[in-house]
Amino acid sequence: MTTARSLTSLTKSELRNFVDSFDVVLSDCDGVLWREADVIIGSPDSVDRFKKIGKKFFYITNNNGKTREELVEKCRGLGFSATKEEIVCTCYIAAMYLKEKNFKKKVYIVGGDGIAKELDAVGISHSGVGPDLMKGEVTDVIENFKPDPEVGAVIVGFDTEFSYPKLVKASTYAADSESVILGKPETYISEYVIRTYGLDPARTLMIGDNDVVFKTLLVLSGITTKDDIAELRERTKPEDKQIVPDFYTDQLSDVFRLLSD
């Protein structure tokens, strides 16, 4: 049973064994590596040190507002030496999901340019990005909407220009369709990374998120607190026990600080 051990409670030998137990690091971004536009002190150096000791490092994010190329630019601006191949974001995952399904129709997007650009990269046509303002009464929106017969899927992400007309169109196109959640902590993103990069789940560490596939390290530089961990430990449902992390620490840089102490 997972007990959420603090890294500070490990002996030097146990800490070395922990670091030696994985070859690949999948790291959440916001709250682990940065907060919004501010880097978390010590994180870029920690990522570099993981790579220097032979670990593969991937940036995993539910951010669907930026493409992989745009997230590389953000990483580099904050001091991370990231490459496009190391970025796994949900707008990219959505495009890959449809590509794997051999999807040939059009996508209606509730979201931003990041989703549209990733769809463009795999040759999937789309509509919906940008303002779609309310005109007239609610009934007018419904009665005047003529669905595009070419639309075969809807992608829903964060949309700063969300409106009632977009809700009507998305719900109409998605009626009687199966919905799939592609972002963390759902399984598709983990399965995609394992399949695409040939990862061994038993030798992979997930930082910042709870995951039932990989061993996990929770860092407290985001919104989770020690009280949250204690509360999780007290839960009795099996599904709650699954989201208790294997290890936790205050921030990512603790790993190498503790090794060097």
| CB distance 247 to 236 below 8 Å | no
Instruction: Return the minimum-mean-pLDDT range out of 54-68, 72-86, 176-190.
Output: 176-190
pLDDT at 20: 96
| Predicted confidence (pLDDT) per residue in 136-148, tens digit | 899 999 999 999 9
User: Which CATH fold would you assign to the domain 92-174?
Assistant: Rossmann fold (3.40.50)
| Predicted confidence (pLDDT) per residue in 219-254, tens digit | 988 888 888 778 877 776 766 566 788 899 999 999
> Over 60: is that where the pLDDT of 26 sits?
yes
Mean pLDDT, the chain, whole residue set: 91
> Over 50: is that where the pLDDT of 215 sits?
yes
pLDDT bin (cut points 50, 70, 90) of residue 1 is very low
> Alpha-carbon torsion 60, 65, 70, 76, what sign?
negative
Distance, CA of 58 to CA of 254 (rounded, Å): 19
Outline which parts of the chain fall under CATH 3.40.50.1000. Answer: 5-62+183-260, 92-174
pLDDT at 242: 67
DSSP 8: G
Average pLDDT estimate for 113-132: 96
CA 189 distance to own-chain centroid: 8
Q: Can you read off the two tokens belonging to residue 136?
A: 């007239």
pLDDT at 46: 95
> Over 60: is that where the pLDDT of 152 sits?
yes
Q: Which residue has the tokens 């220097």?
A: 52
> Over 80: is that where the pLDDT of 66 sits?
yes
pLDDT at 124: 98
**Measuring CA to CA, how many Å separate 242 from each of 155, 181, 193, 247?**
29, 19, 21, 13
Superfamily of domain 5-62+183-260: HAD superfamily/HAD-like (3.40.50.1000)
Q: Can you read off the two tokens belonging to residue 144?
A: 């005047």
DSSP per-residue codes, 119-172: HHHTT--EE--S-----S-HHHHHHH----TTEEEEEE---TT--HHHHHHHHH
Q: Residue 161: phi, psi to the nearest 5? A: -115, 30
pLDDT at 256: 92
Distance, CA of 189 to CA of 211 (rounded, Å): 11
pLDDT at 184: 84
Q: 3-state DSSP call for residue 207?
A: strand
Considering the entire predicted model, what is its pTM?
Answer: 0.89
Distance, CA of 68 to CA of 168 (rounded, Å): 30
Report which of 66, 65, 46 is spatially closest to residue 57, judged by C-alpha positions: 46
**Strand residue runs (E) in the chain:** 5-6, 24-28, 34-35, 38-39, 56-61, 87-89, 106-110, 126-127, 151-156, 204-207, 215-219, 247-249
